[in-house]
Amino acid sequence: MLLLSPPEFAPAKINLTLHVTGQRSDGYHLLDSLVVFADVGDYISLRAADVLGLAITGPQAAQLPVTDDNLVLRAARALNGPAVAITLEKHLPIASGIGGGSADAAATLRALSRLWAQPLPDTALALKLGADVPVCLLSQPLRMRGVGEELAPLPAVLPQTHLVLVNPGVGIATPAVFKALPCKTNPGMANMPNFATAADLAAWLATQRNDLEAPAQSLAPVIGTVKAALAAQAGCLLARMSGSGATCFGLFATATEATAAQTQIAAAHPDWWVKAGKLLD
């Protein structure tokens, strides 16, 4: 079957900060987060079909069997259009804190909306699929607040920044991480200044937090090992966990430094998932 459109990229979502500022009566947590995206991710392809279907390929396919409640299928059903055969080329590790499932659902919404010449779905529909789907639908640097529905542009363009993503192969259930968080009412993120360089960005980020890092590390101590491995690399400006883990990122000023760090970490830990890339504008 021929592709109905070019493959849609589903970039990894990185929480450069993640402040947990409260909890609603329905249990949902309130967040204040600086969210960016990397040039590392999955791909969604569409083909003509008589019934809606999903196939999963790629290096991480074995970790994600096809099930009826896959977010990609749920996203397609939410738009309620003609049937298509969807292929998810899976590169991002699952349950890893970099928005893989949400990014895939958002890419499905973008691809189908373009195919059917429809506007992108509103935030309410995206939010029903998951708290990270609205921000992944836009896939650009944003400040995310509330439960994921309050999205605001940044006051300035972020400087060119390279990164290395590392996942130790440990999946962590997000509800368990939130349950282990001792305080649910923490201060929000400070207002962002302008940043001239990646080093400026990293220095400011070091004054902010990921409130889920400590509880996630209590559940998966290897996160501390991953952060230490990143921080030890030449040129690493900041090492931190993304989302609810267990993926961590290291920020670098140059692609050369990031690539060298990827090579060294991958050689020292061949069982870890390690990818170098850069932040998307």
The catalytic residue positions are 13, 132
Beta-carbon contacts of 252 under 8 Å, excluding residues fewer than 6 positions away, are 161, 162, 163, 164, 198, 233, 235, 236, 237, 258, 261
**Rounded distance, CA 70 to CA 42, Å?**
15
CB 198 within 8 A of CB 253: yes
The token duo for 275 is 């990818």
Task: Work out the angle between the directed axes of helices 71-79 and 100-115 (0-180°, nearest 10).
Answer: 30
Range 28-47 burial, b when 16+ CB lie within 10 A, else e:
ebbbbbbbbbbebbbbbbbe
**Rounded distance, CA 1 to CA 4, Å?**
9
**Rounded distance, CA 31 to CA 148, Å?**
7
